Amino acid sequence: MDAADAAAEAAEIGEEDIVEHIFEAVIEQRLPPGTKLSESALCDAFGVGRMRIRRALLLLASRQIVELHANRGAFVASPTSEQAHEVFEARLMLEPSIARLAVTRATDAEIALLADHIEREHQAHHAGRRRDAIRLSGQFHGLLAQVAGNPTMMRIMKEMITRTSLIIGIFGAQDMTDCRDHDHSRIVDRIRARDADGAARLMQDHLQQIKTDLDLSNKVTTGLDLVSILKR
Amino acid sequence: MDAADAAAEAAEIGEEDIVEHIFEAVIEQRLPPGTKLSESALCDAFGVGRMRIRRALLLLASRQIVELHANRGAFVASPTSEQAHEVFEARLMLEPSIARLAVTRATDAEIALLADHIEREHQAHHAGRRRDAIRLSGQFHGLLAQVAGNPTMMRIMKEMITRTSLIIGIFGAQDMTDCRDHDHSRIVDRIRARDADGAARLMQDHLQQIKTDLDLSNKVTTGLDLVSILKR
DNA sequence: CCCTTCCAGATTGTTAACAAAAATGTTGAC
DNA sequence: GTCAACATTTTTGTTAACAATCTGGAAGGG
């Protein structure tokens, strides 16, 4: 259906669209880490030539969302526990500051938008729509970066959020729903109250919580590991 | 000579090398903003096929170092004053924290490396080797990110540093030597003293100083501007 | 029975020719 | 003489065929 959908769009489908599509799929954990992304498969999935796919994969690789192995193809990235540490360290540096900025710059309309987003998160969570809940949970952090009003930062955050999805897919407990929407709700409360320090601290606690919920001693699920495991 | 040099390497020259080379040239302000990067020129500059060049340009575009205009070609990016604001806002978020991390993690050997680097900055500055001074000044921030020990952050910082070079090229005064090496020296002093707060504050002041030295009311120097300027 | 070696199939990487678009230069009419 | 339309040239974008590499399995030997 993806193929039909994409083919229906027809006309012009740029590599940016493909990148966006794959980003979404990774965030929703429909593409687990280590999944092979063969060129021919993607070609008739999106109904475009090999060149576009190749460029899209290169862009995704430059964003650390896929890994390119020479003569072997493209695979959805499998972050190591070290990389997971890195990502959370970076997010802990950035996102409290982003929350501060959001407090400063959020218009009433944007606050309403955030509240609405949280409502949808809440609904998806209670309706058991796990996939939507995961996606919305990630998108909340992206929305916050958008409210902060810095496109450069947004781009960085989009990468971090997506990589976090991969990390949770590898190291997270199965019942874990990424972020609890309650944490998000409290952050928006602080934004509404124009409490920059409070929002920053809540964001820090929130990220710390997510990180400690992970089991960073687990190992990767990529093909190369099977080799090293089964070699014994 | 670049062509001969690159051709001499021969054998295998990956797109990463090309990207790195262009990064360096941009940091040293040998490639001013708006410079056209025609494929054929790059082809015989690096002695590789058009495909490699194309991939390198795409990677550079994904890092906001070059702009790709459809059917027009690739140009060295010309950040707007808004984008300049964004970059400094992001750096002001990141680098104080990076400085803190560096204080925590720097080994004695790394501190010696930083001191050595500053010495070279000092020499280049006083010898009037402007190009070297600019490059070393930028590299100091990269080195600090390296000491902080987070590759993900290093990648982000490399992009920020390079974009800052472009920004200074557009909005900076001609006599401006990017960062004064004295600021860097004081930061390393704080690292040596294991004073995280001090290092972070100095870094913040340092970046703020650079930003206020810019004249962000200037306009771009790209081809499109000539049109609007000469139209009168 | 297991291991190594080799071959067929499939997939990726590269090259070259081709198509399309933009920039440039020229001609002709007003 | 100036402007506009047209033709040429250059540059970028795309496609398709070709080459190189890896995967998986089968055959052969230990």
Query: Contacts of residue A86 in chain B, CB cutoff 8 Å?
Result: 150-153
> Model confidence over B188-197: pLDDT tens digits?
999 999 999 9
Establish whether the CB of B71 is closer than 7 Å to any nucleic acid atom in strand D: yes
> Model confidence over B122-155: pLDDT tens digits?
999 999 898 899 999 999 999 999 999 999 999 9
> Smallest CA–C1' separation from B14: which nucleotide?
C13
> Model confidence over B84-125: pLDDT tens digits?
999 999 999 999 999 999 999 999 999 999 999 999 999 999
Distance to chain B for A40, nearest Cα, Å: 19
Instruction: Summarize the confidence of residues B67-89 as an average pLDDT.
Output: 97
Given an 8 Å threshold on Cβ–Cβ distance, is B93 in contact with A90?
Answer: no
Instruction: Summarize the confidence of residues B6-34 as an average pLDDT.
Output: 83
Establish whether the CB of A40 is closer than 7 Å to any nucleic acid atom in strand C: yes
Q: Give whichever of A86-100, A169-183, B163-177 has the largest mean pLDDT.
A: A86-100
Give the count of beta carbons closer than 10 Å to the beta carbon of residue A204. 16
Question: Rounded to 5 degrees, what are φ and ψ at B192?
Answer: -60, -35
Best of B19, B87, B92, B93 to substitute, by most chain A Cβ atoms within 10 angstroms, is B93
Query: Contacts of residue B87 in chain A, CB cutoff 8 Å?
Result: 152
Q: Would residue B11 be called left, alpha or beta, if left means φ above 0 and alpha means ψ between -120 and 50 degrees?
A: left
> Model confidence over A177-229: pLDDT tens digits?
556 779 999 999 999 999 999 999 999 999 999 999 998 875 544 444 433 33
pLDDT at residue B3 greater than cutoff 90: no
Query: Contacts of residue B94 in chain A, CB cutoff 8 Å?
Result: 93-94
> Model confidence over A33-86: pLDDT tens digits?
999 999 999 999 999 999 999 999 999 999 999 999 999 999 999 999 999 999
SS (H, E, C) B88-121: HHHHHHHHHHHHHHHHHHCCHHHHHHHHHHHHHH
Q: Structural domains in chain A?
A: 2-76 (1.10.10.10), 81-213 (1.20.120.530)
Residue of A nearest to B150 (CA): A86
- Cα dihedral A116, A120, A123, A125, rounded to 10, equals -130
Q: Which residues on adjacent β-strands are paired with residue B67? A: B75
pLDDT at residue A231 greater than cutoff 60: no
Q: What is the pTM of this model?
A: 0.91
**Which positions ≥6 away from B12 have C-beta within 8 Å?**
none
Instruction: Summarize the confidence of residues B209-226 as an average pLDDT.
Output: 69
CA distance A106 to B51: 44
Instruction: Summarize the confidence of residues A91-95 as an average pLDDT.
Output: 98
Give pLDDT, residue A13. 84
> Model confidence over A122-156: pLDDT tens digits?
999 999 898 899 999 999 999 999 999 999 999 99
Establish whether the CB of A68 is closer than 7 Å to any nucleic acid atom in strand C: yes
Give pLDDT, residue B211. 94
pLDDT at residue A3 greater than cutoff 90: no
Could you tell me if B98 and B54 are in contact, meaning their C-beta atoms sit under 8 angstroms apart?
no
Instruction: Give percent of chain A above pLDDT 90.
Output: 78
Q: How far apart are the first and last CA of chain B?
A: 42
Q: Which residues on adjacent β-strands are paired with residue B37? A: B74
Residue lying closest to nucleotide C23, CA to C1': B72
Two tokens at A117? 């987003």
